[in-house]
Structure 1
Amino acid sequence: MKRALIITYYWPPAGGPGVQRWLNFVKYLGEFDVEPVVYAPQNPHYPIRDEDLLQQIPTGVEVIKQPVKEPYRLAGMFSKKKTKRISSGIISEKSPGMLEKLMLYIRGNYFIPDARVGWVKPSVIFLKDYLKEHSFDTIITTGPPHSLHLIGLQLKEISGIRWIADFRDPWTTIHYHKSLRLTKSSEEKHKKLELEVLRKADHIVVTSVTTKKEFSEKTDQPISVITNGYEVTEEITPIPDRKFSLAHIGSLLSERNPVSLWQVLSELCGENKNFNDDLLIKLVGVVSDEVLRSLEEFGLNKHFRTEGYVPHKEARQLQHNAQVLVLLEMDKPETRAIIPGKLFEYLAAGRPILAIGPEGSDIAKILDDTGAGSFLNPAQKKELKEKLLELYQAFQQGTLRIQPEGIERFSRRELTRSLSEIILKP
């Protein structure tokens, strides 16, 4: 059995999608002759917490923790709300105030590649000694935060142990990178660090075909696509919503605000009394003020309900209960590589998926391959209206259901099998 040291920032009780990927890899690696040991921060600044996830840590897995110093604690003295927004990734507003501009400038230019860079040096010092006393075949770093890859980079140079860099999101082409108000020298430093990681890691893992293509132009190192996935746990009994519910599970930030969807829904409510009576918009998770204003602007106040952040188990139940699951991505070329983790749980829920995002998105291919739903660009208002009417008519007739094909390959266990093959490779 080979041993793998997994260096991750997001670990229970962290909530949100960032923790799910490696929590579930760790759960199944033992079945494929890999013993995982997890290295995580002792006192992290998690913007979202889910204490229930602590129960999912596999019994017997060793978890090493070391303190981390983060600027968000100091920044919180000036504005807790803005600090939480920025640490959550909510950093793109149409008209950010002076305080937020200053915070973004400091974040982007004094903390490269990110605000967790202060954990790199103490982690390398600690792990250098730890590796002298404990044998490992592979070191794995997962980002964001991409500063964790700098830990892997230095440990590779010190120990010579094989290193796998897992990118859950791109680095310099991530959609919010331009919002960091970077100077030219800071931008060059980001690119230099990214290239160094991509060229010195022994193997790179990404979550989308588009990211693989992008990275392949920067490095000759092997790159594998291992998407996020869904977990097969206890059987969930759906309790179908009585109304024609459109449910979005997860944070809905300003730049994902689906104005075209709200406009079309408003038109349908005005044109079809039954549709107006039956429509229910369910938003589960953090919702930006701009989204709430848009719903009010289009007269949809009486149709929507916000749930706020809910534990992962409850979120999965809500997915199974929804009539239609809505997936939203920013309409930008740089978000074509983003495949939200919720997509795979949506697939497992077996409910029709309505996705809206940029043309050429990797999401569209997955929906086409599985037959699980439809993908539209925000500009396709006519097609969006027709699709919503089609879904609503099926709801009225009691035939609103799908049978997605080939989704088993996205199960967490099968994805871990793919990861183990990389780890076990000579």
Structure 2
Amino acid sequence: MTIREENTMPSLLMIINFFPPSAGGGVYRPLSFVRDLSNRGWDITVVTPQAGEFWITDEALLKKIPEKVRVARTMSLSGQRVMNALRSGRSGPSRRSSSGFGLVRALSDFFLIPDSYVGWLPFARNAAFKLVKQGHFDALYSTSPPDSSHLIANSVAKRFHLPWVADFRDPWINLYLKKPPTPIHACLHRHFERTVTKADAILVTTDWHEEILERLYPGARVVKITNGYDEDDFVGTEQMSPSGDVLTILHCGMLTLGRSSRPFLEGLAAFLSDTPDALGRIKVSFVGARESDNEYWVERFSLEDVVSFEDNVPHEECIRREAVSHVLLLIKHDTPNYNGLVPGKLYEYIGARRPILAVVPEGEAARIVLNTGRGEVADISKTRQIAEKLGVMFKLFMDGRLDASYNLSKIDDFSRRVQSAKLDELLKAMVGDNESKA
């Protein structure tokens, strides 16, 4: 008897590399889709690697996977898994060497195509083939990064004629966010992207990415479903609020080679130089995984008494910390190819309903903060502007007007439940179209 005969719920096969116990920004969107679609009546099976695929973990996230969701964990020989094994114990669980990782990543970009997770592809593809042969599935979903996840889904969709949604949390990494090492690499990545855009629907999270794909691939069905915040994460935080006479600024999330604390720290040093009375009245905490260079910049700007770093904490603790901080700090990459991206962390900050200081380039992320009235925006390339915006928020805090100066109301449009409802509607329409053709 097939799964379809046993269960009349629509069934969905999901190819997800970053899945609990892995942690980090790439986990929360697909995890929310898994949970919310399951609650909406989908019979879900997830294909994902065994634990150890990513260098950040949070065992508590496993509790967010509904019991009725089947999770097929496979072997993987990804380059990232090998790197994790090599770095084990060297820099701590939330810190890695900036110089060492930069070299390894450069080698990976050259030899591992389309990405360092391609070693998972044969195991995931075989597992997916086996699952589809054993039972009925109505639709297929894949999410990236890593982009190799879409190549797995492409094989499954072609073999079994399943309607397929390819969800790009970020654009194709080695085309838009990193320069391909050679023209041959560029051609290969463009070929792979073109292949994936033949999916039945392409999900994007930003206007910028939507415009690019519609221009390059006029025949593709591109649908924008933004990132969002998980309402359930904030249950119990409604009564929490910051206290004390010291302005607390929190950055909760990863700092990478491209997304560094340096521009903000340089602006902070300039602000404290202009406003020496603020010393002892402002504290900045960076919580989460980071490259080692970030500590260097704290020492370089003599900010040891103001700035602290903490290792990765469970996501629920991160949410609690956000709720009791005066200001939430958002930092983006300062290179032009990242200007169109909107960090998922911004939506989580919006869910936390605290003032935001966005140190970002001009673009969609800056517009969201300004249009919602959620906080201040400083151009990441302008040290003086960062110092000025810090000064604005510090003065509001000292005057007791910080919260009253910004719109901290709930914004339903950015709830993940709203985004999941859009995906649910899209998938059901695709399944209906597929059945009508049969």
Aligned length: 415
Q: Give 2:201's aligned residue.
A: 203
Residue equivalent to 1:121? 122
Distance 1:406 1:224 in 2: 25
Identify if the C-alpha distance between structure 1 residues 142 and 245 changes in structure 2 by more than 3 Å, giving closer, same or farther.
same
Alignment of 1:112-261 (within 5 A): 112-172=113-173, 177-178=178-179, 182-198=181-197, 200-219=198-217, 220-233=219-232, 234-236=235-237, 237-242=239-244, 243-261=246-264
For residue 262 of structure 1, what is the aligned residue in structure 2?
265
Q: 1:142 to 1:77 in 2, by over 3 A?
A: closer
CA contact (8 A) 2:332 2:360 kept: yes
CA contact under 8 A between 2:241 and 2:323: conserved in structure 1? yes
The equivalent of 2:389 in structure 1 is 387
What is the Cα deviation at residue 409 of structure 1?
1.2
Displacement of 1:353 after TM fit? 0.6
Distance 2:376 2:13 in 1: 40
Structure 1 position 377 matched with structure 2 position 375 = no
2:420 equivalent to 1:412: no
User: Deviation of residue 34 (structure 1)?
Assistant: 2.8
| More off after superposition, 260-269 vs 164-173 | 260-269
SS at match of 1:224: strand
Shift in Å, 1:120: 2.0
Instruction: Evaluate the alpha carbon distance shift between residue 270 and residue 292 of structure 1 in structure 2; reply closer, same or farther with a 3 A threshold.
Output: same
Match of 1:10 in 2: 18
Secondary structure at the residue paired with 1:256? coil
CA gap 1:174/1:275 in 2 versus in 1, 3 angstroms: farther
Structure-2 change in CA distance of 1:73 and 1:270 (3 Å): closer
Structure 1 residues 379 and 173: CA distance shift in structure 2, 3 A: same
Output the CA distance in 1 between the equivalents of 2:270 and 2:421. 47
Query: Deviations for 1:245-303, whole angstroms, at most 9, x for unmatched residues?
Result: 12111112343334443233223323334311201011111233322222222221101
- Superposition deviation, residue 379 in structure 1: 3.7
Shift of 1:241: 4.6
Q: TM-score, normalised by structure 1?
A: 0.89
Question: Distance in 2 between the 1:149 and 1:84 partners?
Answer: 32
Q: CA deviation at 1:118?
A: 2.4
Q: Deviations over 1:399-419 (max 9, x none)?
A: 211334562111111110011
Contact 2:250 2:322 survives alignment (8 Å): yes
How far off its partner does 1:195 sit?
1.1
- Counterparts of 1:60-139 in structure 2 under 5 Å? 60-75=68-83, 80=88, 96=99, 101=103, 103-139=104-140
Aligned-partner SS, 2:109: helix
Q: Secondary structure at the match of 2:137?
A: coil
CA distance in 1, matches of 2:272, 2:127: 60
Which residue, out of 16, 21, 25, partners 2:33? 25
Give the 3-state SS of the residue equivalent to 1:11 in structure 2: coil
- Letter of the aligned partner of 2:424 in structure 1? S
Pairwise CA distance, 1:76: 5.9
1:335 aligns to 2:338 (yes or no):
yes
1:421 matched to which residue of 2?
Answer: 425
How big is the shift at 1:89?
Answer: 12
- 5+ residue gaps, structure 2: 1-8, 434-438
TM-score scaled to structure 2, two decimals? Answer: 0.87
Deviation per residue, 1:71-113 (Å, 9 max, x gap): 345456765589999xx9989x6xx56x963x33541232211
Structure 1 residues 52 and 416: CA distance shift in structure 2, 3 A? same
Distance of 2:86 and 2:35 partners within structure 1: 40
Structure 1 alignment gaps of length 5 or more = none
Q: SS at 1:135's partner residue?
A: coil
Q: How far apart are 1:384 and its partner, in Å?
A: 3.0
For 1:57 and 1:76, how far apart are their aligned partners in 2? Answer: 24
Find the aligned partners of 1:264 and 1:123 in 2 and give their Cα distance: 46
Q: Name the SS for the 2:45 alignment partner.
A: strand
User: Against the structure 1 CA distance between its residues 324 and 423, is the aligned structure 2 distance closer, same or farther, given a 3 Å change threshold?
Assistant: same
* SS of alignment partner, residue 280 of structure 2: helix
Assess, with a 3 A threshold, how the Cα gap between structure 1 residues 82 and 160 changes in structure 2: closer, same or farther.
Answer: farther
2: CA distance between counterparts of 1:128 and 1:371?
A: 48
Pair 1:308-2:315 in alignment:
no
Cα shift readout 1:125-181 (whole Å, capped 9, x = no counterpart):
332232123111110011111111011111111111101101111114666522xx7
